Amino acid sequence: MSIPVMTEARRVKSARMETRVLFAGPEDGVPVVFIHGNLSAATWWEETMLRLPEGFRAIAPDLRAYGEADDAAKVDATRGMKDFSDDLDALMEELGIAGAHMVGHSLGGAVLWQMLADHPSRVLSVTQVCPGAPQGFGACGPDGGPAFPDNAGSGGGAVNPDLIALMKAGDRGDETPNHMRNVLNAFVWKPPFVPERMEDILTSALAQHTGDADYPGDATSSDNWPGAAPGKLGPINAMAPIYQSDPLGFTKSGANAPILWIRGADDQVVADGSLFDMGTLGAAGAVPGWPGADVMPPQPMISQTEAALTVYEGQGGDVERVVLDDCGHSPYLEKPEAFDEAFHAFLARHG
């Protein structure tokens, strides 16, 4: 099933891959590139794109392994977020864009930490919306290092297999907590909120490429709890802390782009105790055999991001922080007026 659109959609082939790219606003406008998160696609950004102030050009690609990106483009997880950031660099080159304001959500935010590290000249400003911590996602202690040398508890092996089976079947139902519809409604935004475009958003989430080379990716058996460690393929493995070669690289690259960090106060996905982190689930008794907080504590994702941004500020970087009350993991969908107020003002200051 193709994903419905309310903006202009084009196929764009860069030097690295071909994907669907959405556009809105005047072609000669100041470019703003939107990067979606996991279980998502460019579709999630469309209403935000259409609300941009006059004079801005919105651009939103489907990342490799997501949406309507080329099925043949796989993620080399051992490079961390580098496949994604290199794809963005190549896309901008193909579109003739020297630099752009960039907006990332969740996994898309993790991509932008890498973009700042590897391609800082491309970035005019960064708006981070509930971004993944620079240190990676899952089974990661306060110091940013994996709880076990093989990073057991993170990556594709930590994904619920029932969710994967339902995704592969394209099941749009709500009969179990593992159905995509219920996962989105329970965790990705704060209940009882449901987006007006829920069916289109669900379609784009189910367009996630699935399999051992995509989502959730492959896994390696481990003697460490909970018995599986990250494999080498797919976006979830790419987020594993073991593959983040230099989490604070963006503070060392010479990047000077201003950063706006917006998050929901009630985010359950990226949190100091994420409900998708094995340390958190083990501590809550949801996964038997947890080795304890001394071995695998809940990952302090918000604290890790705050510490990294404090380093960035110490290098002369400009950072603004906004926390929206009564809001979950998707502020631009849940609280569009409050989100736009902060985001548009940020663009006005730095556009």
Q: What is the pLDDT of residues 68-83, one digit of tens each?
A: 999 999 999 999 999 9
In terms of C-beta distances under 8 Å and separation of at least 24 residues, what long-range contacts does 90-93 make, across chains too?
A: 90/14, 90/15, 90/16, 90/17, 91/12, 91/14, 91/19, 91/21, 91/61, 92/33, 92/122, 93/14, 93/15
Whole-number Å distance between alpha carbons of 215 and 218: 8
Residue 351 pLDDT exceeds 90: no
pLDDT bin (cut points 50, 70, 90) of residue 169 is very high
Q: What is the pLDDT of residues 273-310, one digit of tens each?
A: 999 999 999 999 999 999 999 999 999 999 999 999 99
Residues 130-144 as b/e (b if ≥16 CB within 10 A, e otherwise) read bbbbbbbbbbbbeeb
Beta strands in the chain (DSSP E): 8-13, 18-24, 30-35, 56-61, 100-105, 123-129, 210-211, 215-216, 219-221, 228-230, 259-264, 319-324
Q: Provide the pLDDT for residue 1.
A: 63
Q: Taking the model in full, what pTM does it have?
A: 0.98
Whole-number Å distance between alpha carbons of 267 and 109: 15
Task: Read off the pLDDT of each residue in 228-238 and give the average, rounded to a whole number.
Answer: 98
High-pLDDT (> 70) share of the chain, % = 100
Task: Read off the pLDDT of each residue in 114-134 and give the average, rounded to a whole number.
Answer: 98
Q: For 35-77, where are the alpha helices, taking DSSP H only? A: 46-50
Q: Provide the pLDDT for residue 207.
A: 98
From residue 150, give the alpha-carbon distance in Å to each of 57, 139, 159, 290.
Answer: 43, 10, 17, 16
pLDDT bin (cut points 50, 70, 90) of residue 248 is very high
Q: What is the pLDDT of residues 11-37, one digit of tens each?
A: 999 999 999 999 999 999 999 999 999
For residue 84, how many C-alpha atoms fall within 13 Å in the half-sphere facing its CB? 32
Domains of the chain: 8-350 (3.40.50.1820)
Q: Determine the angle formed by the axes of helices 107-118 and 82-95, rounding to 10 degrees.
A: 70
Q: What is the pLDDT of residues 50-59, one digit of tens each?
A: 999 999 999 9
- Report DSSP state, residue 348: H
Q: What is the pLDDT of residues 189-204, one digit of tens each?
A: 999 999 999 999 999 9
Task: Read off the pLDDT of each residue in 311-323 and give the average, rounded to a whole number.
Answer: 97
| Contacts of 341 by beta carbon, 8 Å cutoff, 6+ apart | none
